[in-house]
Amino acid sequence: MPNILVIHGPNLQLLGRREPETYGTMTLDAINQQLENLARELDAHLRIEQHNSEGGIVSLIAEAMDWADAILINPAAYTHTSVAIRDAVAASGLPAVEVHLSNIHKREEFRRHSFIAGVASGQICGFGVQSYLLGLRAACNLCSSSHS
Amino acid sequence: MPNILVIHGPNLQLLGRREPETYGTMTLDAINQQLENLARELDAHLRIEQHNSEGGIVSLIAEAMDWADAILINPAAYTHTSVAIRDAVAASGLPAVEVHLSNIHKREEFRRHSFIAGVASGQICGFGVQSYLLGLRAACNLCSSSHS
Amino acid sequence: MPNILVIHGPNLQLLGRREPETYGTMTLDAINQQLENLARELDAHLRIEQHNSEGGIVSLIAEAMDWADAILINPAAYTHTSVAIRDAVAASGLPAVEVHLSNIHKREEFRRHSFIAGVASGQICGFGVQSYLLGLRAACNLCSSSHS
Amino acid sequence: MPNILVIHGPNLQLLGRREPETYGTMTLDAINQQLENLARELDAHLRIEQHNSEGGIVSLIAEAMDWADAILINPAAYTHTSVAIRDAVAASGLPAVEVHLSNIHKREEFRRHSFIAGVASGQICGFGVQSYLLGLRAACNLCSSSHS
Amino acid sequence: MPNILVIHGPNLQLLGRREPETYGTMTLDAINQQLENLARELDAHLRIEQHNSEGGIVSLIAEAMDWADAILINPAAYTHTSVAIRDAVAASGLPAVEVHLSNIHKREEFRRHSFIAGVASGQICGFGVQSYLLGLRAACNLCSSSHS
Amino acid sequence: MPNILVIHGPNLQLLGRREPETYGTMTLDAINQQLENLARELDAHLRIEQHNSEGGIVSLIAEAMDWADAILINPAAYTHTSVAIRDAVAASGLPAVEVHLSNIHKREEFRRHSFIAGVASGQICGFGVQSYLLGLRAACNLCSSSHS
Amino acid sequence: MPNILVIHGPNLQLLGRREPETYGTMTLDAINQQLENLARELDAHLRIEQHNSEGGIVSLIAEAMDWADAILINPAAYTHTSVAIRDAVAASGLPAVEVHLSNIHKREEFRRHSFIAGVASGQICGFGVQSYLLGLRAACNLCSSSHS
Amino acid sequence: MPNILVIHGPNLQLLGRREPETYGTMTLDAINQQLENLARELDAHLRIEQHNSEGGIVSLIAEAMDWADAILINPAAYTHTSVAIRDAVAASGLPAVEVHLSNIHKREEFRRHSFIAGVASGQICGFGVQSYLLGLRAACNLCSSSHS
Amino acid sequence: MPNILVIHGPNLQLLGRREPETYGTMTLDAINQQLENLARELDAHLRIEQHNSEGGIVSLIAEAMDWADAILINPAAYTHTSVAIRDAVAASGLPAVEVHLSNIHKREEFRRHSFIAGVASGQICGFGVQSYLLGLRAACNLCSSSHS
Amino acid sequence: MPNILVIHGPNLQLLGRREPETYGTMTLDAINQQLENLARELDAHLRIEQHNSEGGIVSLIAEAMDWADAILINPAAYTHTSVAIRDAVAASGLPAVEVHLSNIHKREEFRRHSFIAGVASGQICGFGVQSYLLGLRAACNLCSSSHS
Amino acid sequence: MPNILVIHGPNLQLLGRREPETYGTMTLDAINQQLENLARELDAHLRIEQHNSEGGIVSLIAEAMDWADAILINPAAYTHTSVAIRDAVAASGLPAVEVHLSNIHKREEFRRHSFIAGVASGQICGFGVQSYLLGLRAACNLCSSSHS
Amino acid sequence: MPNILVIHGPNLQLLGRREPETYGTMTLDAINQQLENLARELDAHLRIEQHNSEGGIVSLIAEAMDWADAILINPAAYTHTSVAIRDAVAASGLPAVEVHLSNIHKREEFRRHSFIAGVASGQICGFGVQSYLLGLRAACNLCSSSHS
């Protein structure tokens, strides 16, 4: 039964209240509920965290080296600016799945580059809450293939 | 029951024979088999095509306006060079899911830009055959949300 | 009586069905009808072709060396990506008029560069079907000046 | 009967005397005569101005808001450097046709960008005096479509 | 009576001690005193915060959605690097006034771009403490216009 | 009692008539009236000029060396293209306040660079007519600090 | 006795008719004759193909995996635009020699970059028909070194 | 006896008053006096003009086609922004010598590019008033070589 | 006896566990031990801190103004992204020595630029733990030269 | 019987000792022996030089104007940095063949540009010692075509 | 009586033999003769050197610190590539006049940037041998102004 | 006892005479004396060379393959322009320590890139003569670790 660290980056606590034309009307709690439901179905254990601070996310990932089998991360704004989170993911040695609610490749130029992508196993974007759910499937799949 | 056009771009007919360190050892037939299996599970109907020609893919997409509910496409090399396929996807008005076997954001600079991403609903990359399977789930989900 | 090759590039077969807010509601057949009408008025003979394939357009232009006096071309998406069509036009030695339905200089950055413009006599864009009609006048005029 | 403001930009008073290998041997007076002839044929009324000063052209366009139905402009050198003329065209709210004697897309890099194109209806270039005549047809057509 | 959140970004706690040739000799306390005086005059209520942490500023802005009518922010170094603060301002839906003590457009190249400007109502820079005072006037004015 | 030269750049004579969604519905006369009112309150004397010509603005600034204490300038389109106005401001040796009705940092890429900012004391943008009023306060403040 | 696939890219069927000042007056048939003569001398077997279509060339290369020992390719215009042909060459695993009639490094900027070079063994350009003949020698040499 | 048009660009009327650390303390009148003295020595006739307006300089150059043998021009700020003056110089067909008081290659990046240099015979910069005097010698020399 | 603040940036707590092929197998504790040993030899006093948070490092540096004589900093990932730390170092007025375990000039493009270098006395990189030890010597040397 | 100057650029004296994975194990003497053998076969006379100094190579080429019929040059590192060698080749008026052991288009970005290519007849790269031998054939061929 | 070091850069020994359409038919000896003649007239003493080697020119300039009052240098190809000569000129502390036979601003892009210009007093280009003669006048003038 | 080649690049012979505000007042002899003193302390043997010529430095490094254990190099101006020295260092296979007196990352843009850094073990800059002394320690350390 894989242990998966789920990280929601900055401002995601505002989901449902924030720019619904871009991010939809579902709250973070509702997304987490759907993730938990799917985790039960896939027989996975989740630890879900939301952080506005880059350093906090770095620490979270570093500590996950000791217990987690994979990381599911929506780095939000830090996607485009954080070398520190990139380095943390690489240092952790854990397979990481990067997800985004919106299709970042359709937005402002500065959102098209991800520092995280260079160290993640893969990236899923543009499907709203489904990005998370597909990402969880991908993460579980990565765990099972590395365990087999 | 959604109708989904699945397009494999150039050189994908060589899968399993071609650069296995990048693309894995699974053949295109095996991938298609897995897609059909999942389609049955998700109650979807697939039409699967592989094309080496840009113009052929353009025609395929244009014709899909008349029967398909969504497109699942791995544009392969044309991802980075084809405005014509981009325009075809946009013209079709169909929701499109772009998938890649490898994580294109980790490869040569010229592979990091996708002309298709600007008109696709979302993008999934880096998970090997799972990219296709997750993409099919995403495509079915897009159909059901636009139908409801 | 000049012979003019009229080429419609990829996706133009969808005109009238495709993104009407950008390309209008007139079909390709209707445009061709207007071109034929004007050709009669200007005493020109047209051969009209639509192709989704870059190689197909290259072959068409190469063969036109033997019978045509000028080329009227809307290269559509290939405007921005095709060196092969550029080389074909240059190789043909025929005067070429490049036309676009929309004003490409107002659209996405990648649509502002034309590989064809470097070898065409001139460019007309932004006037919808009128771009074609003005282009036909320009092509006939080029024929008559090179014949006199 | 549409009223059209025709603007010739800087140095165009020298036409026929200036670099004939690029701009031809026809004088500005001869071009204007051909424009007036075509205007009679198309049942349009022209006011033709030549200005070397950017500010003068800006004022001309601003005043045209009160009487003109369209603008036919060859901004010449200001094509590439004038945000002020761009803003004037946009502010006027009038449909504008941008014309150039030479094919600007074939010349020095700095001539390939037009600040005016972003606010014009369309652009015609490369056909010598025919650029103006085709442009007048386009302008009249724009007037009739917006009047109908 | 508008409620305004005033945010001082990183290192501003050092004002008066730090590079006086660039930032002047006035301390942050003195600036805050002048802000409070003007707020009394303009009948506004201020909450003033200084933070060295990007995540801390993000949280502050997110929470302000519940009580503030406008934001007056000097993002200091985060101006040029923080997409997270940009997203927080956008998510808050509050009008924001961006201020800088120095004229950032006269300094190093990397200080000329502001991620915040793209989501702020306006920007004031170069006037030292007056940047704050003018910014407070602007913020109050934005509140009154949106309230009327 | 400071003497302040107020310069409105090209096309600003059209305010209220021009693109109201960007520039608002207030006319230039109304803005000038508000400036005069505030000048009386601040005990300043204004000379207000509007010019469409770059050279005209250059001359105006050069002559101001003999009588003015500060310049309040909205260079409009010349913001982005005029080295001559930049040089005039620098040559005048007068403190200059650059203002813009709209937030230029949110608009087209070419509007984000100001040649004037490099020689101005500060910049205020995005607050509509308030940009001018705040700018006048800033200019008066600069005069009083350099006089004391 | 090595089997070598010789590919002539788009427009090369026009050799001898096309821009002789750049490409010389020799026809493609004459070049092929010289290649066959040299092949006999070097004891090699050639299959020679000319294609205007990118997809056609991709397919040709893919099929060559089954019978060829090396590829001699003049990708012509596709040199600069085709990732698909690059991928096909890489996928084939065959040594490839890239040749050009003209010295592409002396021509337009866009002709100086080759997508094929990154996967070819080497490149020969600028020697007219000799580029092909030297390339055939290089290809045979590559076969013999990999066979020994 | 050659006729030479001497043009001083914008803001040069301020010489001696303007930024003396960059441009020295000599007035424009004093420079003109030295030019007249040298002209007498070299047996040349000068017409000296100073203009703040780009259009004014364009007109001056165009009219010089009828009487001048060479142009000596310090385009000042227009050096870096005026395609119109470049076109006027080219159109005039007259040899032109471009001079600058300061060494423009040592100053801000935007001053290092000259639109005029591309059509001038040569450029002299960095020697203060000597730039003009050397430039006059160069202009006379160009006249005598083209006359012989 | 100089007081030196030693700062280890984000993820350095993982040293010895993290990507040993890049960063070696020595733990942070072992490095600190070596630093303390050398400090005793050089008669210096160290305060050693590790922080994952940008804001935390900013605060640390600001507070060091009151007690430290120099800073020895390995900013790790923040080297490339943090203007805030750059500003803190500049504001502190303390001599700073920037060190890196790996040779950052040999790694990914984005690691070659250091925001800190612009305000540090010097930079040492590529020598593993020796980078720190040499950096401590450099820092002590800077203290003694500024004290003498 | 053509006289050919063969130039080996900097560091090539180390061949066989230097980075064998990139440059092979053959020494420069062995390459020269093979060149002499082929020269005998092709009835050519060679003068072979190796130089580490840019100026030395420039002098060698200049002197070759008096006796050589062609140049065969591997400029090695100077390929990418030497305008002086480029100018020497152009000044010599001799046909030049540029060769490289490795495929420079596959290596670091800075090795992909050749200053020499712009003045050479052609370029051959990527075939190890065969690059030299093919280059000698090309050089002899150039001599015979210019002599006939 | 000023001592002036005159340096001719690489390939200039070929003048008169080399590309006469660009550099004219005058030999270096003839230029030197004209320089000596003018030096006598201006009461200056010249030491004239030609060097193909960058290091040789660096040494020459360094030694000139001990005896010369000014440098007149045509760095030829090294203009665009040599930081070492730039540093030598700066280190010498001598006023330097940079001259070029051709107008470098009209030639290939890479010839438009001069590393020397950043440390020279001024630059003269485009006047053939007159560039040297005007440069000598400028150098003498610099000597007399720094001596007075 | 390690043998270390110490290379001083161009213009360093002028140290103490050259721009002391940038490079200090210490002469090269004094630096060499300090290096020798430290070498005795560290039990190393030095060979110290200063060269103005790129080719000379290349030769020096190539020859060092036979006797040296490490290289300590201040490439000065060649840091930024010499691929040949880069290749020599790589070819030598010796560990190399790159040092600079000044902090090159704080100076002109073109000084921030080092061709040498890509092949050096590490880089030390900004500490004046201490850069050399720290560099010698680093070089000795590299020798001892590779010997152990």
**H or E element, residue D5:** strand D3-8
Average per-residue pLDDT for chain I = 94
Asked whether the beta carbons of residue H91 and residue D17 sit closer than 8 angstroms, the reply is yes
Q: Is pLDDT at G147 greater than 70 in this prediction?
A: no
The L45-50 sheet, strands edge to edge: I45-50, I3-8, I70-74, I96-100, I122-125, L122-125, L96-100, L70-74, L3-8, L45-50
**H or E element, residue H59:** helix H54-64
Residues of E in contact with I52 (CB under 8 A): none
- Chains D and H touch each other (3 or more Cβ pairs < 8 A): yes
| CA K47/CA H131 separation, integer angstroms | 24
pLDDT at B146: 65
Q: Between the CA of residue E50 and those of D42, E6, E7, E75, what are the distances in Å?
A: 69, 8, 6, 10
What tokens appear for L141 in the block? 């350390």
Q: Is pLDDT at K112 greater than 90 in this prediction?
A: yes
Q: How many CB pairs under 8 A join E and F?
A: 67
Q: Is pLDDT at H60 greater than 80 in this prediction?
A: yes
Nearest to I33 by CA among I48, I23, I44: I48
Residues of I in contact with L103 (CB under 8 A): 117, 120-123
**Residue ranges of chain F whose pLDDT lies below 50:** 148
Question: Among all residues of chain L, which has the CA nearest to that of J76?
Answer: L84
Cβ–Cβ under 8 Å, residues B69 and A82: no
C10/chain B closest Cα distance in angstroms: 6
| CB-based contact, K16 to chain H, within 8 Å | no
Residues of D in contact with F111 (CB under 8 A): 83
I28/chain L closest Cα distance in angstroms: 20
Domain range holding K67? 3-146
- pLDDT tens-digit readout, G97-122: 999 999 999 999 999 999 999 999 99
| CB-based contact, K58 to chain L, within 8 Å | yes
- Work out the angle at residue D15's Cα, subtended by the Cα atoms of residues D13 and D17, and round it to the nearest 5 degrees: 110
Catalytic residue among I23, I45, I78, I147: I23
Cβ–Cβ under 8 Å, residues H4 and F81: no
Residues of B in contact with A79 (CB under 8 A): none
Q: Is the dihedral of CA C43, C45, C48, C54 positive or negative?
A: negative
**Residue ranges of chain L whose pLDDT lies below 50:** 148
pLDDT at D19: 76
pLDDT band for D146, please (50, 70, 90 cuts): low
- Chains E and D touch each other (3 or more Cβ pairs < 8 A): no
- Residue given tokens 């709210």 in the structure block: D93
- Catalytic status, residue B78: no
| CA J53/CA L54 separation, integer angstroms | 7
| CB-based contact, G23 to chain J, within 8 Å | no
**H or E element, residue C40:** helix C28-42
Cβ–Cβ under 8 Å, residues J15 and J58: no
pLDDT band for J146, please (50, 70, 90 cuts): low
In the three-class reduction of DSSP (H, G, I as helix; E, B as strand; rest coil), residue C120 is classed as coil
E28/chain A closest Cα distance in angstroms: 25
Q: Between the CA of residue J25 and those of E112, G35, I132, J20, J101, what are the distances in Å?
A: 53, 32, 40, 5, 12
Which residues share a beta bridge with D96? D71
In sequence order, which residues have a C-beta less than 8 Å from that of residue G131 and are 6 or more positions away?
G74, G99, G100, G101, G124, G125, J122
In sequence order, which residues have a C-beta less than 8 Å from that of residue G105 and are 6 or more positions away?
G112, G125, G126, J114, J117, J118, J123
The shortest CB-CB distance from D123 to any of C118, C126, C138 is to: C126
pLDDT at D13: 95
Cβ–Cβ under 8 Å, residues G84 and B10: yes
| CB-based contact, L79 to chain J, within 8 Å | no
pLDDT at C146: 65
Mutation pick from L83, L85, L110, L119 vs chain J, by most beta carbons of J within 10 Å, is: L83
Chain J: list its partners (3+ Cβ pairs within 8 Å): G, K, L
In sequence order, which residues have a C-beta less than 8 Å from that of residue K107 and are 6 or more positions away?
none
Q: Between the CA of residue E77 and those of B82, E48, E54, I58, I113, what are the distances in Å?
A: 40, 18, 10, 11, 17
Asked whether the beta carbons of residue E78 and residue I84 sit closer than 8 angstroms, the reply is yes
E47/chain F closest Cα distance in angstroms: 23
- Write down the number of H helices and E strands in chain H: 5, 5
DSSP 3-state helix, strand, coil percentages of chain A (rounded to 5)?
50, 20, 35
CATH of the domain at H128: 3.40.50.9100
pLDDT at D135: 98
Cβ–Cβ under 8 Å, residues L18 and L77: no
- Chains I and D touch each other (3 or more Cβ pairs < 8 A): no
User: E47 φ, ψ to 5°?
Assistant: -120, 120
Q: What is the pLDDT along chain C (148 residues), one digit of tens a residue?
A: 999 999 999 999 999 887 777 777 899 999 999 999 999 999 999 999 999 999 999 999 999 999 999 999 999 999 999 999 999 999 999 999 999 999 999 999 999 999 999 999 999 999 999 999 999 999 999 998 765 4
C81/chain B closest Cα distance in angstroms: 7
Q: Is pLDDT at K146 greater than 70 in this prediction?
A: no
In sequence order, which residues have a C-beta less than 8 Å from that of residue G91 and are 6 or more positions away?
B11, B14, B17, B18, B19, G61, G62, G65
pLDDT at C21: 78
pTM of the model: 0.95
- Chains A and E touch each other (3 or more Cβ pairs < 8 A): yes
pLDDT at E147: 52
Residue L22, classified by CB atoms within 10 Å of its CB into exposed (0-12), middle (13-18) or buried (19+), is exposed
Question: How long is chain H?
Answer: 148
Mutation pick from G114, G125, G129, G143 vs chain J, by most beta carbons of J within 10 Å, is: G125
Q: Is pLDDT at I146 greater than 70 in this prediction?
A: no
Which residues of L participate in catalysis according to the annotation?
A: 23, 100
In sequence order, which residues have a C-beta less than 8 Å from that of residue H142 and are 6 or more positions away?
H70, H95, H97, H121, K127
Question: Among all residues of chain I, which has the CA nearest to that of E16?
Answer: I91
H2/chain F closest Cα distance in angstroms: 30
Nearest to K35 by CA among K127, K116, K130, K104: K130
Mutation pick from G108, G114, G115, G123 vs chain J, by most beta carbons of J within 10 Å, is: G123
Terminal-to-terminal C-alpha distance of chain E: 13
Cβ–Cβ under 8 Å, residues I78 and I50: no
Average per-residue pLDDT for chain J = 95
Our measurement of the distance from residue C136's CA atom to the centroid of its chain's CA atoms, rounded to an integer in Å, reads 9
- pLDDT tens-digit readout, B25-76: 899 999 999 999 999 999 999 999 999 999 999 999 999 999 999 999 999 9
The shortest CB-CB distance from J87 to any of K11, K54, K55 is to: K11
Question: Dihedral through CA D138, CA D143, CA D145, CA D146, nearest 10?
Answer: 140
**H or E element, residue H73:** strand H70-74
Residues of F in contact with H52 (CB under 8 A): 55-56, 58-59, 62, 84
Give one word for K84, left, alpha or beta, with left for phi > 0 and alpha for psi -120 to 50. Answer: alpha
| CA A76/CA A111 separation, integer angstroms | 10
Q: Do strands G45-50 and G70-74 pair parallel, antiparallel, or not at all (unpaired)?
A: unpaired
Residues of H in contact with D104 (CB under 8 A): none
| CB-based contact, E14 to chain I, within 8 Å | yes
- Catalytic status, residue B8: no
What's the domain count of chain E? 1
Residues of G in contact with B13 (CB under 8 A): 62
Q: How many CB pairs under 8 A join E and I?
A: 58
Q: Is pLDDT at K27 greater than 80 in this prediction?
A: yes
- Residue given tokens 């006086």 in the structure block: E20
Asked whether the beta carbons of residue F123 and residue E120 sit closer than 8 angstroms, the reply is no
Question: Among all residues of chain G, which has the CA nearest to that of B19?
Answer: G91
Residues of I in contact with A115 (CB under 8 A): 110
Mutation pick from C51, C53, C87 vs chain G, by most beta carbons of G within 10 Å, is: C87
- Give the range among B142-146, C120-124, D7-11, I108-112 with minimum mean pLDDT: B142-146
pLDDT at F147: 52
Cβ–Cβ under 8 Å, residues A141 and A111: no
Q: Is pLDDT at H39 greater than 70 in this prediction?
A: yes
ipTM of the complex, rounded to two decimals: 0.95
Q: Is pLDDT at G146 greater than 70 in this prediction?
A: no
| CA J56/CA J40 separation, integer angstroms | 27
**H or E element, residue G96:** strand G96-100
What tokens appear for F113 in the block? 């660079």
- pLDDT tens-digit readout, E32-66: 999 999 999 999 999 999 999 999 999 999 999 99
K68/chain H closest Cα distance in angstroms: 19
Asked whether the beta carbons of residue F90 and residue H19 sit closer than 8 angstroms, the reply is yes
H148/chain K closest Cα distance in angstroms: 16
pLDDT at J21: 78
